[in-house]
Structure 1
Amino acid sequence: MNADQYNYATVTQALDDLKARGYVDEFNFKDQYLFCDPKGVQFNPQELKITEVYRFEGASDPEDSSVVYAIESASGLKGVLIDAYGVYADERKSAFINSLKMES
């Protein structure tokens, strides 16, 4: 999937379109793993790949800066993870994300 073909003005637009394209689950980071709480599963970095990335900058407030990651598990589960970037990023979460494979 080529993320270059998608251009979103807001995080909400990105999330809505990704959901329509099958990224229906939400991932959460905790204790060196990504979790999909509704499904009751956890993943380590080797089980995941990032398929798309969208970065959003807050127009007036740096706290509004975020990144939306479209992620797929080896078992086929597709979901999203939202993270801040810059000084507001969680260092452990960012390190985990940086350890994931990127689909080319």
Structure 2
Amino acid sequence: METSPNGMTTLSGVMEVLKERGVDHELRLLENGQLEDQDSGRVYNPQGMKIIRSYRFEGDSNPSDSAVLYLLENADGFIGYIINAYGAYDDYEGDLFDNLIRNLPVEEREF
């Protein structure tokens, strides 16, 4: 989990900082494996996307508070994020999400 004095210790804190930095595109994984921008409805293929940063959150008292935010970038420079709870509270059924994350190249960098 990213921890710093600028509010990036909670999921909402990270989302607020990302918004301040111009990243306000939440992606949702569709059943066909594509990613949809929740605001614009634009659909992206995961090919060409890479994970540039990830943030993991663990709830202090409730396992349902556990989540991971992945910051994704495509070849055109579009940056969006996808959030998923993990464990028993996973947001996606089956292996679709896990396969997506496993197959995306990772280029962790400061953002």
CA distance in 2, matches of 1:48, 1:12: 24
Mapped pair 1:72 → 2:36 = no
Once superposed, what is the RMSD of the aligned Cα atoms? 1.9
What is the match of residue 97 of structure 1? 101
What is the match of residue 29 of structure 1? 29
CA distance in 2, matches of 1:103, 1:43: 19
Unpaired stretches in structure 1, ≥5 consecutive residues = none
Q: Structure 1 counterpart of 2:48, which letter?
A: E
Q: Could you say which structure has the greater relative contact order, defined with CA pairs below 8 angstroms and 6 or more residues apart?
A: 1
What is the match of residue 15 of structure 1? 15
What is the match of residue 56 of structure 1? 57
Identity %: 36
Q: Structure 2 counterpart of 1:14, which letter?
A: V
Return the TM-score normalized by structure 1.
0.83
What is the match of residue 86 of structure 2? 85
Higher helix share: 1
Higher strand share: 1
Runs of 4+ in 1 over 4 A off after TM superposition: none
CA distance in 1, matches of 2:63, 2:105: 28
